[in-house]
């Protein structure tokens, strides 16, 4: 929700993509799934999807805490942790990668391998069911971030850049109903400040 990143972009995050000095992450990999390949790495969806996303201090602190947990978990696993993982590209060509994915598998002989993107979807669905909530899917968090930014007056180009859309018009088309609602609120805000008398 904080990054607005796509599910596969989050699953593909590696520690090398975390820029601690500038409080941001680099989205330059996405994980996808095909029946005949399995989980594979690819470049993000569009050229603009290869992007840096600045994170608030609270999220960076959470990442630091998680990093400490990640290191301790890896040490606890010992030899069961795969220091290198074999993963395919979109053409099915295998390559060896250092196991530095933020979110990793924890069972069997795949400990340290990246988490499957559909595991995120399943976790959200299970969480919704356990807590008697309406269905939640990971993409909804992306929409929530965009809606929050629109309602708080952030310009469409900045939102489009954060989402990694190829064009700002893509963002405005997808969120036209949100933009209209935000514009109505803007009109009320202007009226409150300039036209309406204050009570008391």
CA distance 7 to 170: 19
Return d(Cα 90, Cα 39) in angstroms, integer.
9
Q: Kindly report, residue by residue over 104-158, the tens digit of the pLDDT.
A: 999 899 999 999 999 999 999 999 999 999 988 888 888 888 888 887 878 888 8
pTM of this structure? 0.81
Contacts of 25 (CB under 8 A, 6+ apart): 3, 13, 17, 18, 19, 52, 53, 55
CA distance 145 to 3: 8
Taking the C-alpha atoms of residue 119 and residue 156, their distance in angstroms, rounded to an integer, is 31
Q: Please state the domain extents for the chain.
A: 1-133, 136-200
pLDDT tens track for 40-83: 999 988 788 899 999 999 999 999 999 999 999 999 999 999 99
Tokens representing 79 are 């030899």
* Residues contacting 131, CB < 8 A, separation 6+: none
């Amino acid at each position: 929700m904080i990054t607005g990143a796509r599910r596969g972009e989050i699953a593909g995050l590696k520690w090398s993509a975390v820029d601690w000095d500038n409080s941001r992450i680099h989205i330059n990999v996405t994980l996808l799934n095909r029946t005949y390949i399995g989980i594979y790495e690819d470049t993000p969806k569009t050229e603009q999807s290869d992007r840096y996303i600045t994170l608030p201090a609270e999220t960076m602190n959470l990442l630091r805490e998680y990093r400490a947990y990640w290191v301790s978990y890896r040490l606890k696993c010992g030899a069961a942790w795969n220091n290198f993982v074999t993963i395919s590209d979109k053409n099915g060509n295998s390559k060896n990668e250092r196991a530095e994915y933020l979110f990793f598998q924890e069972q069997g002989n795949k400990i340290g391998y990246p988490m499957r993107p559909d595991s995120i979807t399943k976790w959200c669905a299970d969480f919704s069911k356990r807590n008697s909530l309406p269905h939640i899917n990971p993409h909804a968090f992306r929409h929530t971030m965009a809606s929050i930014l629109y309602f708080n007056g952030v310009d469409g180009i900045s939102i489009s850049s954060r989402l990694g859309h190829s064009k700002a018009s893509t963002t405005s088309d997808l969120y036209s109903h949100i933009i209209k609602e935000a514009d109505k609120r803007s009109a009320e805000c202007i009226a409150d400040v300039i036209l309406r008398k204050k009570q008391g």
